[in-house]
Amino acid sequence: MSSVLSISNISKSYGPILALKNVSFDVPEGSVFGVLGPNGSGKTTLLGIVLDVLLANNGTFSWLGNLPHDHARRQIGSLLETPNFYHYLSAFDNLEITAAIRQKGLDDRDRVLKQVGLFERKDSKFQSFSLGMKQRLAIGAALLGGPKVLVLDEPTNGLDPAGIAEIRELIRALNKEGITIIIASHLLDEIEKVCTHVAILKKGDLLLSGPVDEVLISEDQVEVRAADMAGLQTALQGMAGIKKIRLTDNTLQLACDTNIGPAQVNEFCISKGIVLSHLLLRKKSLEAKFMELTN
């Protein structure tokens, strides 16, 4: 799979503050790529650099097979800040102003309004729109000119659950049309539900990057208790496949290899003459994995 964006050793500082520290990753063509991290992790700074809004101190990036930046930018739609739409104008007229400013897409308004599901409301005033509809119109503005890549910074920020669901479904639909989408977000749930790939940032450092199901893989734990906890812990320290043992609230939590589960732990304990009073497989949530990475 080819890359639409390649980032190599990007660094950015604001005085003594290092916002990005040698960040490198590739965005595969056709993916929904999430740049995930807590507020202040460098997500918006990184998007600003690759969109030529900010200048990096070090490092390079290339778009669409190393096209010249001015040619590449014509094929990239972006939404870093919500456009200043006029409340008393219709969706159609607001897009006319946006198209004139950007010098592209004036004849493209009907198409993008259909893409974002607002064609039936194209003559409605912007002030009559819900928050989700307003954000869909903003994404529609970014789609003027038919870009191959769409870059969105916190596209669901401030939306209610209904608005978040609207944007999530829109992102999926646009991706099915062949648009590569890059999303910056601090919301794990948003990334997990719509993204195919992810890069996780913390205070300017790239922690991990790759397919979502690999980067955010959960690690299950086996919980055990017995009458003799000290003897149980000593015995389990000699069991192959157990990576880590932690004692919490008189319960041993076992981090195991993928081939080790409750049945194998129970069988091992029986072989050592230990009768377990508690045996549980506890699924580790993706949220817990994310918190572990970023904290």
* pLDDT averages per 10-residue partition of the chain, 295 residues: 91 93 96 92 94 94 86 88 88 93 86 94 94 92 93 89 90 95 89 90 91 73 92 94 87 87 94 94 68 67
Residue 253 near residue 246, CB atoms below 8 Å: yes
* CA–CA separation, 219 and 256 (whole Å): 8
pLDDT of residue 39: 86
- Domain spans in the chain, listed from the N-terminal domain onward: 3-215, 221-294
Residues 6+ apart with CB under 8 A from 100: 106
CATH classification code of 3-215: 3.40.50.300
- pLDDT at position 73, please? 84
Strands 180-185 and 32-36: parallel
CA nearest to 256, candidates 292, 285, 283:
283
Burial class (CB in 10 A: 0-12, 13-18, 19+), 178: exposed
> What CATH number belongs to 221-294?
3.30.70.100
pTM value is 0.77
Q: Output the pLDDT for position 232.
A: 95
- At residue 25, φ and ψ (nearest 5 deg) are -170, 165
User: How far apart are alpha carbons 8 and 47 in whole angstroms?
Assistant: 14
Contacts of 116 (CB under 8 A, 6+ apart): 136, 137, 139, 140, 143, 170
Q: Which residues contact 72 (CB under 8 A, 6 or more apart)?
A: 63, 64
